[in-house]
Amino acid sequence: MTNKIFFLLLAAALMLAGCTDEAVVAESGWLEISSVRLIDAERVVVQTRAADSDLNVDIYNAAGTKVLSYPAGSLAAGKKVYVAAGTYRFHAYTSNYNTPVTSTDPGTPKFSGERTFAVKTDVVTYLEMEVPMVNAAVSLTLPEDFSSLFTSYTFTANVGSRTMVVTDGNTAYFDLKGNDKVIYTLSATNIDGETMSQQGTFNIYAGYVYDITFAYGDTQKLSPVVRKR
Protein backbone atom coordinates (compact mmCIF):
# COMPACT_ATOMS: atom_id res chain seq x y z
CA MET A 1 0.00 0.00 0.00
CA THR A 2 1.35 3.38 -0.82
CA ASN A 3 0.94 6.24 1.61
CA LYS A 4 -1.09 8.26 -0.87
CA ILE A 5 -2.96 7.17 -3.95
CA PHE A 6 -5.02 9.83 -5.63
CA PHE A 7 -8.14 9.34 -7.68
CA LEU A 8 -7.99 11.13 -11.00
CA LEU A 9 -11.34 12.87 -11.16
CA LEU A 10 -12.50 13.60 -14.70
CA ALA A 11 -15.42 15.96 -15.18
CA ALA A 12 -16.63 16.95 -18.61
CA ALA A 13 -18.05 20.47 -18.54
CA LEU A 14 -20.67 21.38 -21.10
CA MET A 15 -19.08 23.83 -23.50
CA LEU A 16 -20.52 25.86 -26.34
CA ALA A 17 -19.18 25.05 -29.76
CA GLY A 18 -16.17 27.16 -30.60
CA CYS A 19 -15.08 27.90 -27.02
CA THR A 20 -11.38 28.54 -26.71
CA ASP A 21 -9.04 26.88 -24.21
CA GLU A 22 -8.96 30.16 -22.29
CA ALA A 23 -12.76 30.04 -21.85
CA VAL A 24 -12.55 26.52 -20.42
CA VAL A 25 -9.93 27.57 -17.88
CA ALA A 26 -12.03 30.57 -16.83
CA GLU A 27 -14.98 28.29 -16.01
CA SER A 28 -12.99 25.63 -14.19
CA GLY A 29 -11.05 25.06 -11.01
CA TRP A 30 -8.82 22.40 -9.54
CA LEU A 31 -10.16 19.49 -7.47
CA GLU A 32 -7.98 17.18 -5.40
CA ILE A 33 -9.15 14.37 -3.11
CA SER A 34 -6.60 14.66 -0.35
CA SER A 35 -8.07 12.28 2.23
CA VAL A 36 -11.10 10.00 2.03
CA ARG A 37 -10.76 7.25 4.59
CA LEU A 38 -12.62 4.58 6.50
CA ILE A 39 -13.14 4.82 10.22
CA ASP A 40 -13.87 1.61 12.08
CA ALA A 41 -16.53 0.79 14.64
CA GLU A 42 -14.50 2.42 17.40
CA ARG A 43 -14.23 5.68 15.43
CA VAL A 44 -10.51 5.16 14.93
CA VAL A 45 -8.97 5.97 11.56
CA VAL A 46 -7.82 2.75 9.93
CA GLN A 47 -6.72 4.07 6.56
CA THR A 48 -4.83 7.22 5.64
CA ARG A 49 -4.61 7.03 1.87
CA ALA A 50 -6.04 9.72 -0.36
CA ALA A 51 -8.95 7.42 -1.20
CA ASP A 52 -9.21 4.02 0.45
CA SER A 53 -9.23 1.08 -1.96
CA ASP A 54 -12.35 -0.39 -0.32
CA LEU A 55 -14.43 2.65 -1.20
CA ASN A 56 -16.49 3.39 -4.28
CA VAL A 57 -16.65 7.07 -5.17
CA ASP A 58 -19.53 8.88 -6.92
CA ILE A 59 -19.73 12.62 -7.56
CA TYR A 60 -22.96 14.37 -8.52
CA ASN A 61 -23.44 17.89 -9.85
CA ALA A 62 -25.96 20.40 -8.48
CA ALA A 63 -28.67 18.99 -10.75
CA GLY A 64 -28.24 15.53 -9.23
CA THR A 65 -26.55 14.03 -12.28
CA LYS A 66 -23.71 11.62 -11.60
CA VAL A 67 -20.66 13.08 -13.32
CA LEU A 68 -18.02 10.73 -11.92
CA SER A 69 -18.07 7.14 -10.72
CA TYR A 70 -15.10 5.10 -9.56
CA PRO A 71 -15.42 1.50 -8.35
CA ALA A 72 -13.51 0.33 -5.31
CA GLY A 73 -9.86 -0.32 -6.06
CA SER A 74 -9.57 2.13 -8.96
CA LEU A 75 -6.23 3.87 -9.22
CA ALA A 76 -5.43 7.05 -11.10
CA ALA A 77 -2.24 8.78 -12.10
CA GLY A 78 -2.91 12.45 -11.38
CA LYS A 79 -3.19 14.36 -8.16
CA LYS A 80 -5.65 16.98 -9.35
CA VAL A 81 -7.65 17.85 -12.45
CA TYR A 82 -9.81 20.61 -13.86
CA VAL A 83 -13.53 20.28 -13.20
CA ALA A 84 -16.31 22.68 -14.02
CA ALA A 85 -16.82 25.31 -11.32
CA GLY A 86 -19.94 24.66 -9.27
CA THR A 87 -21.44 22.73 -6.37
CA TYR A 88 -21.10 18.97 -6.09
CA ARG A 89 -22.15 16.10 -3.82
CA PHE A 90 -19.55 13.48 -2.96
CA HIS A 91 -20.57 9.94 -1.93
CA ALA A 92 -18.07 7.32 -0.78
CA TYR A 93 -19.26 3.84 0.17
CA THR A 94 -18.24 0.20 0.38
CA SER A 95 -19.55 -2.20 -2.26
CA ASN A 96 -21.84 -3.96 0.23
CA TYR A 97 -23.60 -0.72 1.24
CA ASN A 98 -26.81 -1.42 -0.71
CA THR A 99 -26.68 -5.22 -0.37
CA PRO A 100 -29.09 -6.74 2.17
CA VAL A 101 -27.78 -9.62 4.24
CA THR A 102 -29.44 -13.01 4.03
CA SER A 103 -31.01 -14.77 6.97
CA THR A 104 -27.97 -17.00 7.46
CA ASP A 105 -25.20 -14.54 6.57
CA PRO A 106 -23.52 -12.94 9.62
CA GLY A 107 -22.74 -9.90 7.47
CA THR A 108 -19.81 -7.50 7.35
CA PRO A 109 -19.27 -3.82 8.22
CA LYS A 110 -20.85 -1.31 5.85
CA PHE A 111 -19.47 2.18 5.32
CA SER A 112 -21.05 5.20 3.66
CA GLY A 113 -20.60 8.97 3.81
CA GLU A 114 -21.65 12.04 1.85
CA ARG A 115 -20.73 15.69 1.76
CA THR A 116 -21.19 18.66 -0.53
CA PHE A 117 -18.40 20.86 -1.77
CA ALA A 118 -17.88 23.73 -4.16
CA VAL A 119 -15.26 24.16 -6.88
CA LYS A 120 -14.37 27.77 -7.59
CA THR A 121 -12.76 29.14 -10.72
CA ASP A 122 -8.97 28.84 -10.72
CA VAL A 123 -8.95 27.66 -7.08
CA VAL A 124 -7.72 24.28 -5.80
CA THR A 125 -10.45 22.58 -3.74
CA TYR A 126 -9.09 19.94 -1.33
CA LEU A 127 -11.65 17.32 -0.37
CA GLU A 128 -11.33 15.43 2.92
CA MET A 129 -13.84 13.10 4.56
CA GLU A 130 -14.01 10.26 7.06
CA VAL A 131 -16.48 7.54 6.07
CA PRO A 132 -18.28 5.98 9.05
CA MET A 133 -19.67 2.51 9.58
CA VAL A 134 -23.45 2.65 9.04
CA ASN A 135 -24.55 -0.73 10.39
CA ALA A 136 -24.00 -2.25 13.84
CA ALA A 137 -22.91 -5.58 15.24
CA VAL A 138 -23.38 -7.96 18.17
CA SER A 139 -20.66 -10.34 19.35
CA LEU A 140 -20.66 -13.12 21.96
CA THR A 141 -18.01 -14.11 24.51
CA LEU A 142 -18.53 -17.07 26.84
CA PRO A 143 -16.36 -18.03 29.87
CA GLU A 144 -13.27 -20.10 29.12
CA ASP A 145 -14.55 -23.15 31.03
CA PHE A 146 -18.07 -22.94 29.62
CA SER A 147 -17.75 -26.13 27.56
CA SER A 148 -16.72 -28.14 30.62
CA LEU A 149 -19.91 -27.16 32.47
CA PHE A 150 -22.42 -27.03 29.64
CA THR A 151 -23.03 -29.62 26.96
CA SER A 152 -24.86 -27.34 24.52
CA TYR A 153 -26.04 -23.77 24.06
CA THR A 154 -27.80 -21.45 21.62
CA PHE A 155 -27.37 -17.70 21.54
CA THR A 156 -29.63 -15.56 19.36
CA ALA A 157 -29.63 -11.81 18.70
CA ASN A 158 -32.71 -10.17 17.22
CA VAL A 159 -32.84 -6.67 15.67
CA GLY A 160 -36.07 -5.75 13.91
CA SER A 161 -37.04 -8.60 11.59
CA ARG A 162 -33.56 -10.17 11.58
CA THR A 163 -32.61 -12.89 14.07
CA MET A 164 -29.13 -14.37 14.01
CA VAL A 165 -27.56 -17.29 15.85
CA VAL A 166 -24.16 -16.13 17.12
CA THR A 167 -21.53 -18.55 18.40
CA ASP A 168 -18.80 -17.89 20.95
CA GLY A 169 -16.17 -15.46 19.63
CA ASN A 170 -18.17 -14.50 16.55
CA THR A 171 -20.08 -11.42 15.38
CA ALA A 172 -23.27 -10.69 13.45
CA TYR A 173 -24.01 -7.39 11.70
CA PHE A 174 -27.38 -5.69 11.45
CA ASP A 175 -28.79 -2.99 9.18
CA LEU A 176 -30.66 -0.39 11.23
CA LYS A 177 -33.88 1.46 10.45
CA GLY A 178 -34.38 3.83 13.39
CA ASN A 179 -34.80 3.33 17.12
CA ASP A 180 -33.73 -0.30 16.99
CA LYS A 181 -33.21 -2.56 19.97
CA VAL A 182 -31.32 -5.82 20.44
CA ILE A 183 -33.15 -8.69 22.10
CA TYR A 184 -30.70 -11.46 22.96
CA THR A 185 -31.29 -14.90 24.45
CA LEU A 186 -28.82 -17.49 25.75
CA SER A 187 -30.20 -20.99 26.29
CA ALA A 188 -27.90 -23.72 27.60
CA THR A 189 -27.94 -27.25 29.05
CA ASN A 190 -25.42 -28.14 31.76
CA ILE A 191 -23.68 -31.47 32.35
CA ASP A 192 -26.46 -32.49 34.77
CA GLY A 193 -29.06 -32.07 32.03
CA GLU A 194 -30.52 -28.91 33.55
CA THR A 195 -31.51 -26.12 31.20
CA MET A 196 -31.19 -22.40 31.75
CA SER A 197 -32.15 -19.35 29.73
CA GLN A 198 -31.25 -15.68 30.00
CA GLN A 199 -32.64 -12.80 27.99
CA GLY A 200 -31.84 -9.12 27.76
CA THR A 201 -32.41 -6.06 25.61
CA PHE A 202 -30.64 -2.77 24.84
CA ASN A 203 -30.66 0.02 22.28
CA ILE A 204 -28.36 -0.34 19.29
CA TYR A 205 -26.77 2.45 17.24
CA ALA A 206 -24.90 2.54 13.94
CA GLY A 207 -21.13 2.46 14.02
CA TYR A 208 -20.66 0.23 17.05
CA VAL A 209 -19.97 -3.39 17.93
CA TYR A 210 -21.79 -4.53 21.06
CA ASP A 211 -19.86 -7.20 22.95
CA ILE A 212 -22.07 -9.42 25.12
CA THR A 213 -19.82 -11.20 27.61
CA PHE A 214 -21.11 -13.83 30.01
CA ALA A 215 -19.26 -14.50 33.26
CA TYR A 216 -19.96 -16.40 36.48
CA GLY A 217 -21.21 -14.29 39.36
CA ASP A 218 -21.01 -14.93 43.10
CA THR A 219 -23.83 -17.46 42.83
CA GLN A 220 -22.03 -19.29 40.00
CA LYS A 221 -24.80 -18.26 37.62
CA LEU A 222 -24.01 -16.77 34.25
CA SER A 223 -24.34 -13.00 34.15
CA PRO A 224 -24.15 -10.93 30.95
CA VAL A 225 -22.22 -7.66 30.50
CA VAL A 226 -22.78 -5.53 27.39
CA ARG A 227 -19.91 -3.32 26.23
CA LYS A 228 -20.06 -0.94 23.30
CA ARG A 229 -16.94 -0.39 21.19
Per-residue pLDDT of the chain (229 residues), as tens digits, is 333 323 322 232 222 233 333 333 346 766 666 567 676 654 333 333 445 678 888 889 999 999 878 788 765 523 566 778 899 999 999 999 999 888 889 999 999 999 998 988 888 887 788 899 999 999 999 999 999 999 999 999 999 999 999 999 999 999 998 889 999 999 999 999 999 999 999 999 999 999 999 988 765 678 888 888 7
Question: What pTM was computed for the model?
Answer: 0.76
Distance between alpha carbon 202 and the CA centroid of its chain, in Å?
A: 21
